[in-house]
Chains A and B, each alone.
Chain A
Amino acid sequence: MSIARAERLPARPWAARFVKPEALTGYGLISPAVFLMMVLLAYPFVLAVYISLSDRVLGEPGKFIWLGNFLKLLQDSLFLQTVWNSFVYTLSTVFLKLVLGLLLALLLNQEFPCRNMVRGALLLPWIVPTSLSVLTWLWMFDSLFSVVNYILLGLGLISRKIPWLGDPFWAMVSVIIVNTWRGLPFFAVSILAGLMTIPRELYEAAETDGARAPRQFWHITLPLLQPVIAVVVLFSTIWTFADFQIVYILTHGGPINATQIFATMAYDIALVAGRIGEGSAISLFLFPALLVVIILMLRYLRRE
């Protein structure tokens, strides 16, 4: 059809001789976005990659050292701990968010009074600025005034206060709790949206075949939710690996480096100690791996 149109309009500008008009419109439509991303995203990103391949420190140009930073990092005990922490943090929060989010979505998909209000209220943790809400959690985990301990002690669930941010184990638990708190609504609402697109008839048909609720869940709900879950998990994994604010505000990576993750370590090394080459290498460390994961995921989704 586009060819027919082109024939009808002989007096096209010169460009039409080389490019089909449809493509022309296409380029026209994406050009503002491309332009913006080239200047403000691609260019700085390429610079950042370049910096990560140099031994640059603040205010000095530095030498190009290829993969020197990355190789050195592999022998850095603190960095190896950071890698471990980052994986623990990301995998456990994504897992928690997925399980709880699925559960919450199933609840929210039922009929009950004030449903929209409840849905809105549950969304709050996700829409409120992180820099503000995490401050609230910091105050809730305060070593002396912790309201969480106050409640747990009051209910008799614990006999002595939990050192939330003061113990390597509990500090990790704390940042995981807060990340789950913040990310859960995104999972729940996205999965809810997926649930709402599943046709009722499928369940009705299953009912007549005598399938009970658990079987319906395993054989209808879950398979049909798979694409949604894949997208949500992918997004969340990427975001969590790059997460900065929650850990930075709550623990600064402590105590004894127990919660040091990629972004906070990169911050400390690049900005506070001034080694921006090495710092950039830290924050780019996972880039190649994530890139591969993303491309594989996109392939999978496109096939679906």
Chain B
Amino acid sequence: MRKKKHGSVHTGGDGTISRRKFLGVTAGATAALSFGTFIRSGLGAAKINVLTWSNTLNAMDDTLREQAKQYTKEKGVEVSFEFINQSDLPTKTAAAVESGAGPDIITTWSDGAHLFDKALIDVSDVTGSLGKQLKGWTNIAKDIGIVGKVWKTVPWGIIPIIVVYRSDWLEEVGYRKFPDTYDEMLVMAKKLKDKGHPVGFALGRAIGDGNQSHYPMLWAFGGAEVKKDGKTVAINSPETAKAVDYRRKLYQAGETEDILSWDDSSNNRAFLAEALSVTGNAASIYWAEQKNAPHLRKVTNHALWPKGPAGRFGYSTAMGLGIFKFSKFQKEAKAFITWLIQPKQYSAWIGVGEGQIAGLANYYEDDPVWKKDSKLEVVREIPKYVRMPGYPGPPSRPAAEAMVKYVIVNMFARAAKGMSTAETIKIAEQELKEIYGKA
């Protein structure tokens, strides 16, 4: 590629003096620049670049930076992390995949490994040895990691999305514990709203909270977007209708109408401003209270998602660490990932996070972090209930596209805004058929 480029510079000049002179200078400069880069990257010692998201907690990123430095000191391999906000992660990932250049290690976000598996190397050896060492992988780890038959990403951690609630307001309306079923939650939500403390689950374009609150709701009532084969659209079912009816009732009886405009950060703010009693979120609210609202921290608690007729479900973003095929340091990258997920490093990292991240290997279910604070105990159970979009089929490109297009969230949102159940499901069915029909 590089050579070809320079070739075109020379042949491109069709014979004028001033121009050739100029071209000569440009070509020379380009050559010098690229040669410089070549020397820096090609001849030096191994250097691994990792692209990942900026965690809500600065301290978690700082821990990773520290660990990278420590690794360099111990093994002589330079590691540097690039942190970026999650919504710009797809842009950078796509650019790297398409140009064949970029970081060596990429954070695969949810079904990321299924979306660009062709660009990733097989990491089954890493997951094999880590699995043996760490009591095996959870189901969700296998869901995000295994594409076809091989592991394409090393499960790294999950950002547990749970129910966050105000225990003092719940007590006010007579609940000592968070209700265990969706139906009970509806009754409670009405009481809370009547007292001026509405609940709220994001129905706007919150790629995280919106999807993560509503896929579990659909599944809990027995609805699903596809059959087990991952191909046949199955949204139009009595079970889905029940979920949609429920969603409308919940909105009318107990929620703040702001939910339609919420992005991922809105419920955090509303909760901290004491305008919200119950929501679905990561543990980031609880953490933020430490600094900004210590008095709220005492009355904030967490619960698992309620059960529905079909059981208890959850959907949280699970991350993995994949290695690009174009990386020149694949062996070194594998070694680094293995090192990073060793208990010594990993526990230190999730320890700083206080419930922001849970491990994906069974070993980490008993991590000391869960014993630090009784209010965070439920968080560790989350990986057990988590499924990925496309459930009961496997994660897939159409499933990811349906999520990006907010098909499920919008189905519920239209119902909340007053559309009839049959009509909103029909629209969703139509959209899903278009999406799954392409595969």
What residues of chain A have their CB less than 8 Å away from a CB belonging to chain B? 13, 15, 24, 27-28, 31-32, 35, 38-39, 57-60, 72, 75-78, 141-145, 163-167, 171, 251-257, 267-276
Contacts and interface: CB of A to CB of B under 8 A. Distances in A.
Contacts of B5: 39
B261 A164 contact: yes
Interface in B110-130: 115-119
Interface in B15-48: 15-19, 22-23, 26
Nearest to B413: A256
Chain A binding site: helix, strand, loop or mixed by DSSP?
loop
Given A32-B22, A166-B261, A256-B414, A59 B97 contact: yes
Nearest to A75: B434
Q: Which 5 A-B pairs have the closest CB atoms?
A: A166-B261, A254-B205, A59-B119, A273-B401, A166-B260
Contact of B26 (A35, A252, A269): A35
Nearest to B275: A144
Interface of B: 5, 8, 12-13, 15-19, 22-23, 26, 90-91, 93-94, 97-98, 115-119, 203-205, 207, 257-263, 266, 269-270, 273, 275, 397, 400-401, 404-406, 410, 413-414, 417, 427, 430-431, 434, 438
Contacts of A145: 269, 273
B106 to A, nearest CB: 11
B410 A144 contact: no
Most buried by A among B98, B427, B438: B98
Nearest to A278: B438
Most buried by A among B207, B401, B427, B431: B401
A302 to B, nearest CB: 28
A226 to B, nearest CB: 39
Contacts of B263: 252
Given A35-B26, A38-B12, A273-B115, A144 B204 contact: no
A165 B19 contact: no
B406 A254 contact: yes
Contacts of B204: 165-166, 254-255
A59 B18 contact: no
Contacts of A165: 204, 261
A66 B19 CA distance: 38
B258 A143 contact: yes
Given A254-B204, A269-B404, A276 B94 contact: yes
Contacts of B8: 39
6 contacts: A58-B116, A78-B405, A143-B262, A166-B259, A253-B205, A270-B94
Given A31-B13, A167-B261, 7 more contacts: A27-B19, A59-B97, A59-B117, A76-B434, A256-B406, A273-B115, A273-B405
Nearest to A171: B261
A31 B19 contact: yes
A269 B207 CA distance: 14
A85 B98 CA distance: 30
A149 to B, nearest CB: 11
A32 B414 CA distance: 55
A268 B365 CA distance: 35
B90 A143 contact: no
A93 B13 CA distance: 44
Given A35-B26, A59-B118, A15 B94 contact: no
A171 B261 CA distance: 9
Contacts of B431: 77-78
Contacts of A256: 406, 410, 413-414, 417
A143 B26 CA distance: 52
Contacts of A254: 204-205, 406
A255 B203 contact: yes
A269 B260 contact: no
B116 A77 contact: no
A120 to B, nearest CB: 33
B262 A273 contact: no
Contacts of B413: 255-256
Nearest to A260: B405
Given A35-B12, A166-B261, A274-B94, A268 B404 contact: yes
A39 B11 CA distance: 13
A255 B205 CA distance: 6
Given A31-B16, A253-B205, A272 B118 contact: no
Contacts of B261: 141, 143, 163-167, 171, 255
